[in-house]
Amino acid sequence: MEKAEIEKCAYCGKPGKEKGKFCSDECKRRYEKELQKDQRNIRYFLLGIGIGILCLFAGTIIGRKWAEGGGLILTGLTIFIFPFTTPETVKWLGYKRAKVLGRTLGILVIAAGGWILIGID
């Protein structure tokens, strides 16, 4: 027998009421506001990730650790500023907690880039 899945609020991650997607009208309003903001910022996220990956790739090809570290730091900063997560993560944790997780992972990527820069010969 399968366990009945408890519906969680899509914004805060708390158990929702009945079969609704949100636990309150306030959470619904905040969720919609955040989604609109995210849609405006997606191009900056993609640009930051793209440039960071290009720097990382170029640093690997030319053998420059500073470019590799800089690329990771730029990628981490982009993830920290625009902490977009997967729909599955949002469903699992709720929108707010998923953003916190995204920012935490961004900090870890920044730290990895700093570690590469500090390890320069």
Q: C-alpha dihedral over 5, 7, 12, 86, to 10 degrees?
A: 60
pLDDT tops 50 at residue 16: yes
pLDDT tens digits for range 59-116: 999 989 999 999 999 999 999 999 999 989 988 888 999 999 999 999 999 999 999 9
Quick one: which H or E segment has residue 92? Answer: helix 87-93
For the chain, which residues make up each domain, given as ranges? 25-118
pTM for the full model?
Answer: 0.80
Q: Looking at residue 48, what DSSP letter applies?
A: H
pLDDT of residue 1: 43
pLDDT tens digits for range 25-69: 898 899 899 989 999 999 999 999 999 999 999 999 998 999 999
Cβ pair 113, 28 in contact under 8 A? no
Burial class from Cβ neighbours inside 10 Å (0-12, 13-18, 19+) for residue 74 reads buried
Quick one: which H or E segment has residue 112? Answer: helix 95-118
Residue 8: pLDDT band with limits 50, 70, 90: confident
